[in-house]
Amino acid sequence: MNQLPTGMYQPGTSVVHQMKANIKIFCFLILTGAVLMAETIWGYAVLVLFSGCLIYFSKIGLQTALSSVRRLIWFLIIIFVMNLCFYGPENPWIKIGIFAPSYEGLMQGVHIAVRVILMMVIGNVLMVTTAPLVLTEGMETLLLPLKLFRIPTEQIAMILSVAMQFIPTLFEEADMIKKAQIARGARFDSKKLLDKAGAVMPLVVPIFLAAFKRADELSLAMEARGYRTDMARGQRKFGMPTGFEWLAIITCSILCILQILCL
Amino acid sequence: MSITLDSVFYTYAPGTPYASAALKNISFTVEKGEFVGIMGKTGCGKSTLIQLIAGLLTPDSGAVLLDGKNINDKNYDRNELHRKVGVVFQHPECQLFETTVERDVAFSLKHFGWSKEKVQSAVERALTMMGFDYEKVREKSPLEFSGGEKRRIAIAGILAAEPEVLILDEPIAGLDPLGREAFLVLVKRLNEAGMTILMISHNADALAEYAERIVILKDGMLFRDGVTREVFSDMDELQKNGIGVSEARQCAALLAERGFDVAKDTICYEDLLKQMIAIGRGQQ
Amino acid sequence: MQAVIAQHLTYSYLEKSKNRAIDNISFQVREGEFWAILGHNGCGKTTLARHLNALISPQKGELVVAGLDALANANIWKIRKACGMVFQNPDNQFVSSVIDEDLSFGLRNFGVSEEEIPNRVKVALEAVGMAGYEKRSTHFLSGGQKQRIAIAGVLAVEPDILIFDEVTSMLDPEGRRDVLNTMQRLRERGKTIIMISHYIEEAILADRMMLLHDGKILGIGTPGEILPDIELLNRTGLTPPMAVRAYYDLKAAGITLKECPLTNEELVEGLCQLR
């Protein structure tokens, strides 16, 4: 494995690392809103600038921040091309069969691509700077209102956090299994569709079995450490936001309001 | 089949906080039929090393040669490589996936274009070698077996391809004493039949007994490479670097400390016993 | 006082099956003792360990752990608090990759107050020799360090009894030494320790040891009583320590040491005493 899994937590001491998880998630949600509301070139420009600052302050490096974009580059290109060719069939530049690229299509394609990229970058910063358990505990506090509807928010948060903390381990395991099967002559690089389908089983079966085994052992260990679903656990108190956190909340909110009102 | 590593460099996860130089300037050659033990602390690059030899990773620079041919050349036949080099990873039992034992063991033979009869006889031979009754187990699901048995089935799947080189990564970790001994005897038998063996292990006793040559890695660099007796005779230096030596060697050192005349290259129990008997007779 | 009293414990995973994972097991562990339970894979040692931590309820027989009757459902959580358990694979025990997060998991489960948690975490990390690792990630630790963190996670809850279920079997020699030293330290602090293992050399550290085979007890005694009995060890599927083997081989060659050594040091000492 030459590359780390995308979005894996990387410990650090930057101001973004030190923000409380619930505030980070809250800011993330506001920013999501801002990205979805953005319509004009100036709106996007401001958001791109802001994302740049975010990457700078979090000290995670441009490469890490963009890693998810790189991984999904083909997805982005397909979305872009689809929008370009199919969005505005009324007055296309040219028409070749069902393909009708137009100015509207181009703009829509750019819109969507930029939105997806922004979302991925911001989401990545959140994941990379926040430890999984903290992240879910942050979610838990934000999910609290759902308790009114008797939804088991703690269990949901616990499942999410444990699942996330196992992602790197499972990635490593999947990588080892893949290598073991290649060494046994399995081929994952074949172009033929039939071969591709056949190559799935030697990977999927062992990976699932390994994941189940882990889940089994972990649930036993959690039980042995006194975890029970029928009783309230002690909870982390996040406390009041610090100065920087207020600044972050206010900045994000202003960004969102600006997108709605002006840009 | 000879294996040569020529100034191989390899880095893991470049450009992130997790980056580390996994291997730095590794060069050595293993001749056909050798039994080489590979040692080193966790994270020293042992696993990376065997993955490079098996063609599962590509070096940043330098070359891995099998019989003088660079395995990372574009026109090198990968299928040939995977056929000739068998790899038993840590916890090989994790790679089982087929519905029956027979099909799982035959998995690696699928691409060889062998006749049905030939495949069947290879599977039967491999399973028998690993101590199974072929007729009894062939139709069973591999998942029905215990952990130790699963491991033996997985190894049968690798031996069925009749590799010329067998690479083993901690094959005896987690086995109980009897399982360990039986497995090592089997590996030794394969080696005597001409198979080249590269075995990663922390178990210095096992290596002292079975390996004729030891390669030790430290922080991604070659730290020792030599005949087992000679490598283990330098006990103090190895222990200072976190490498354990065999129990017999440790005991020999204790005897030497008390003024007894014990050879420095005493690494196996049998050697040690002979010398202890001589000491005992001399004392009485 | 007794930390564990087991009387005729019997358990099968499929009820009514004749295939018993453990069969009529009786023994008593005194407070502060260090026990080693040995046997080959599948001998029932893990099933026995899970009884002690109330992960399995006894089907037949009686079991009292830390003065609590394991047959009473109301005692399950009290037993888990009084008797902590560390498992084989360190990676499958963490609920968080940040160390203090993980350690506080058990504490929150057992209702320790938020104010007290940081202090408990600190003390537990010190006890396993990992002071100052609170904010570190488990992903960057060696196997031995991970296992010590797992021990700290259990220790933070302040149990009287600790069960180690093959905790060294996935570690390299350095990691094993690390974890064994940690166990020794905990024993000096008066914890009752029950260690499950298939490394015979580890059993030498114990006050008492038990050999299990096919769910039955083949022998209970001090290492000095059990380890020289090669025939018994063979029946259990274990090989004797090198010093014991040497003792008998020397005897066969006409050299009789005063007493059977368990360690290499004792063996060398024995040879010296021939003088």
| Cβ contact, residue pair C97, A133, below 8 Å | yes
For tokens 């202090």, the residue is: C119
Residue A235 above 80 pLDDT? no
Instruction: Classify each residue of C7-30 as buried b or exposed e, where b means 16 or more C-beta atoms within 10 Å of its C-beta.
Output: eebebbeeeeeeebbbbebebebe
Report, in angstroms and rounded to the nearest whole number, the Rg of chain B calculated over CA atoms: 21
**% helix, strand, coil for chain B, step of 5:** 45, 20, 35
Over residues A64-89, the mean pLDDT reads: 81
Q: How far apart are CA C110 and CA C204, in angstroms?
A: 34
**From the CB of residue B212, how many other CB atoms can be counted at a distance below 10 Å?**
15
CB contact under 8 A, C55 and A223: yes
Answer yes or no: do A224 and C89 touch at CB < 8 A. Answer: no
Distances in Å between the Cα of B128 and the Cα atoms of B41, B193, C38 are 35, 16, 30
Cβ contact, residue pair C53, A224, below 8 Å: yes
Per-range mean pLDDT, top range of A23-27, C27-31, C270-274 = C27-31
Query: Is B52:B38 a contact under the CB 8 Å cutoff?
Result: no
Partner-chain contact A131 C80, CB within 8 Å: no
Q: What is the pLDDT of residue B221?
A: 93
Please, what sign has the CA dihedral across residues B264, B268, B274, B279? positive
- Residue where the block lists tokens 């009869």: B117
- DSSP assignment, residue A166? T
Q: pLDDT at residue A1 above 50?
A: no
Beta carbons within 10 angstroms of residue C132's beta carbon: 9
Work out the angle between the directed axes of helices A103-129 and A41-58 (0-180°, nearest 10): 20
pLDDT at A262 > cutoff 70: no
- Does A63 score more than 70 pLDDT? yes
**pLDDT at residue A26 in the model:** 85
- pLDDT grade for A94, boundaries at 50, 70 and 90: confident
**For B36, what's the count of Cα atoms within 13 Å in the CB-facing half-sphere?**
23
For residue A17, give how far its alpha carbon lies from the nearest alpha carbon of chain B (Å).
Answer: 15
- Tell me the β-bridge partners of A19: none
Give the nearest chain C residue to B245 (CA atoms): C173
pLDDT in tens, B208-254: 999 999 999 998 999 999 999 999 999 999 999 889 899 999 999 99
Chain pair B-C, CB pairs under 8 angstroms: 84
Closest CA to A236 of A125, A131, A122: A131
Backbone angles phi, psi at B240, to 5 degrees: -60, -30
Residue with tokens 């940043």: B60
Q: For residues A5 and B13, give the distance between their C-alpha atoms in angstroms, rounded to a whole number.
A: 10
Using DSSP bridges, classify how beta strands B165-169 and C192-197 pair: parallel, antiparallel or unpaired: unpaired
Instruction: Tell me the pLDDT tens digit for each residue of B55-76.
Output: 999 999 999 999 999 999 988 8
Round to whole Å and give the CA distance between C140 and B63.
30
Please compute the mean of the pLDDT values over residues B79-90 and round it to a whole number. Answer: 90
Supply the mean pLDDT for chain A. Answer: 79
What mean pLDDT comes out for the span C252-262? Answer: 92
* Minimal C-alpha gap between A257 and chain C (Å): 36
Rounded to the nearest angstrom, the minimum Cα separation between A225 and chain C is 5
**DSSP type of residue C57:** -
Residue A232 exposed, middle or buried by CB count within 10 Å (0-12, 13-18, 19+): exposed
Question: Residues C209, C236: contact at Cβ < 8 Å?
Answer: no
> Mind spelling out the 3-state secondary structure of B153-188?
HHHHHHHCCCCCEEEEECCCCCCCHHHHHHHHHHHH
More confident residue, C147 or B113: C147
pLDDT at residue C242 above 60? Answer: yes
The DSSP 8-state label assigned to residue A152 in this structure reads -
* pLDDT for residue A100: 78
| The dihedral sign for the CA sequence C189, C195, C199, C204 | positive
B110 has a chain A CB within 8 A of its CB: yes
Phi-psi region of B25 (alpha: psi -120 to 50; beta: other; left: phi over 0): left
What is chain A's length?
A: 263
Q: Which of A162, A132, A173 lies closest to A225 in space, CA to CA?
A: A162
Sign, CA torsion A221/A226/A231/A233 = negative
% of chain A surpassing 90 pLDDT = 0
The reported pLDDT for the residue numbered B112 is 81
Task: Please check whether residue C242 is in contact with residue B247, taking contact to mean a CB–CB distance below 8 angstroms.
Answer: yes
pLDDT band at A195 (very low <50, low <70, confident <90, very high): low
Q: What is the CA radius of gyration of chain A?
A: 22
**Using a CB-CB distance cutoff of 8 angstroms, which residues of chain B are in contact with residue A182?**
56, 82
**Mean pLDDT within A87-91:** 70
Instruction: Give me the percent of chain C exceeding a pLDDT of 90.
Output: 68
| Statement: residue B18 has pLDDT above 60 | no
Q: In chain B, pLDDT over 90 holds for what percent of residues?
A: 71
- What is the largest distance, in Å, between two alpha-carbon atoms of chain A? 68
Residue B85 in contact with partner chain A when CB distance is under 8 A:
yes
For A189, counting Cβ atoms within 10 Å of its Cβ (0-12 exposed, 13-18 middle, 19+ buried), the class is: exposed
Structure tokens at C111: 């209702």
d(CA C271, CA A40): 90
Per-residue pLDDT, averaged over A153-160, amounts to 74
Structure tokens at C80: 């888990």
Is pLDDT of C190 > 80?
yes
What is the mean pLDDT of the segment spanning B35-49? 91
CATH topology of domain B3-245: Rossmann fold (3.40.50)
Question: What does the alpha-carbon distance between residue C201 and residue C186 come to, in Å, rounded to a whole number?
Answer: 19
Question: What six digits make up the tokens of A256?
Answer: 């969102």
Q: Does B17 touch chain A (CB under 8 A)?
A: yes
Pairing between β-strand C34-38 and β-strand B3-12 as defined by DSSP bridges: unpaired
CA distances from B54 to A136, A203, B78 (A): 41, 19, 10
SS3 of residue C72 by DSSP: coil
Of A11-15, C13-17, C189-193, where does mean pLDDT reach its minimum?
C13-17
State mean pLDDT over B1-26.
80
Touching partners of A (3+ C-beta pairs < 8 Å): B, C
Nearest CA in chain B to A202: B97
C49 part of contact set with chain B, CB < 8 Å = no
At residue C60, φ and ψ (nearest 5 deg) are -140, 150
CA dist C95 and C154 (Å) reads 13
Q: What domains sit in chain C, N to C, each tagged with a CATH number? A: 2-240 (3.40.50.300), 241-275 (no CATH)
Given a contact cutoff of 8 angstroms between Cβ atoms, the answer to whether C53 and C226 are in contact is: no
Say what the pLDDT of residue B162 is: 92
Q: How confident is the model at residue C31 (pLDDT cuts 50, 70, 90)?
A: very high
Residue C223 contacts residue C242 (beta carbons within 8 Å): no
User: Which sequence spans correspond to the domains of chain B?
Assistant: 3-245, 246-284
Chain A residues touching residue B90 (CB < 8 angstroms)? 176
Residue in A168, A217, A225 closest to C89 by CB: A217
pLDDT band with cut points at 50, 70 and 90 for residue B17: low
Residue A2 has pLDDT above 50, yes or no: no
Q: With a CB-CB cutoff of 8 Å, which residues 117-146 of chain C face chain B?
A: 142-143
Phi, psi of A83 (to 5 degrees): -65, -40
Give me the percent of chain A exceeding a pLDDT of 70. Answer: 88
Tell me, what's the pLDDT at A171? 80
Q: Which one of C200, C268, C274 would you mutate to disrupt binding with B, by most B Cβ within 10 Å of its Cβ?
A: C268
Does A239 contact chain B (CB < 8 Å)?
no
Q: What does pLDDT average to over chain B? A: 91
| Mean pLDDT of the region B16-30 | 79
Both ends of chain A: CA-CA distance in Å? Answer: 44
Q: In angstroms, rounded to a whole number, what is the distance separating the alpha carbons of residues A164 and A161? A: 5
Chains that touch C (3 or more CB pairs under 8 A): A, B
Using alpha carbons, select from C228, C223, C221, C191 the residue that is nearest to residue C205.
C223
B54 DSSP β-pair partners: none
Query: How many Å separate Cα A105 from the centre of its chain?
Result: 27
Residues of B in contact with C245 (CB under 8 A): 269
| Token duo for residue C143 | 């196997």
| Structure-token pair, residue A13 | 């001491």
C91 reaches B (C-beta below 8 A): no
B40 part of contact set with chain A, CB < 8 Å: no
φ, ψ dihedrals at C231, nearest 5°: -60, -45
Which contiguous run of DSSP H or E holds residue A197?
helix A193-224
* A133–C101 CB contact, under 8 Å: yes
In the predicted model, is pLDDT for residue A131 greater than 70?
yes
C74-101: per-residue pLDDT in tens?
899 999 999 999 999 988 899 888 898 8
Point out the residue among C93, C111, C136 whose CB comes nearest to the CB of A221: C93
Phi and psi at residue B190, to the nearest 5°: -60, -40
A:B CB pairs within 8 Å: 78
In the structure, what pLDDT confidence band is assigned to residue A24 with cuts at 50, 70 and 90?
confident
Mean pLDDT lowest for which of A15-24, B266-275, C179-188? A15-24
pLDDT tens sequence across B96-132: 999 999 999 999 888 788 899 999 999 999 999 999 9
Q: Across the interface, do C109 and A226 touch by the CB < 8 Å criterion?
A: yes
Looking at A1-72, list the stretches that DSSP marks H as alpha helix, in order from N- to C-terminal side: 15-18, 21-37, 41-58, 62-71
Preferred mutation among A169, A225, A229, A237 to probe C, highest tally of C CBs within 10 A: A225
Taking 50 as the threshold, does the pLDDT of residue A241 lie above it? yes
Contact B124, B106 (CB under 8 A): no
Strand partners, B9: B61
For residue C123, the SS3 value is helix
Check whether A185 has a pLDDT greater than 80. Answer: yes
Return the pLDDT at C264: 93
Predicted complex ipTM: 0.85
**CA separation for the pair C202, C241 (Å, rounded):** 10
More confident residue, A83 or B263: B263
Is residue C210 scored above 80 in pLDDT? yes
Contact A63, A13 (CB under 8 A): no
Distance CA B12, CA A212 (A): 28
